[in-house]
Structure 1
């Protein structure tokens, strides 16, 4: 098993979310059909795409914050209690801001 590399994991997530957001923006920029019925369906699809774009942008923000913490030497410290975030949690969620205990308390 290879060691977890937070920098590589965060870069990979950043690239993935950037590509996803770009693709969604491209889809949202397409023109709609002149047919009213088809246009109604396309507008509903746009609402779904807008929600997906918001999720991708929120994830990009979290990854950006994690990259900043990494550069400042604070990566892996819980923002709530200051204790180290479990290695397994960081491997699963590289942009995690809180340890599992604190994350459970905020639910």
Structure 2
């Protein structure tokens, strides 16, 4: 049984989100076709890519916040109730800010 290493997990997530964001930015930078019908389809594709880029950038922000909590010694503590977050939850979702009980409650 291996021990969960939050720093390694966050580094891996950061690398994945960075790779995804860079790939999407590269695709968004490609020129459009001269044909109007092709341009219309490409612009629709760009909208999807922009949404995917926003998700990747949000993931990068979440990783940054989790790294900050780790550096401050607050990683693994629920940001709502202060109780420890289940290690199994952190292993699956290393950027988790809340314990499962608080995550299931509506925001106050």
User: Does TM, normalized by the shorter one, top 0.5?
Assistant: yes
Q: Distance in 2 between matches of 1:106 and 1:10?
A: 26
Structure 2, unmatched stretches of 5+, are: none
Structure 2 matches for 1:67-106, cutoff 5 A?
67-106=67-106
Q: Deviations over 1:8-67 (max 9, x none)?
A: 000000011011000000000000000000000000000000000000000100000000
In the alignment of these two chains, the number of paired residues is 107
| 1:61 matched residue in structure 2 | 61
Normalised by the length of structure 2, the TM-score is 0.97
Deviation at 1:104, TM superposition (A): 0.2
Normalised by the length of structure 1, the TM-score is 0.98
Structure 1, unmatched stretches of 5+, are: none
Deviation at 1:75, TM superposition (A): 0.2
Backbone CA RMSD of aligned residues? 0.8
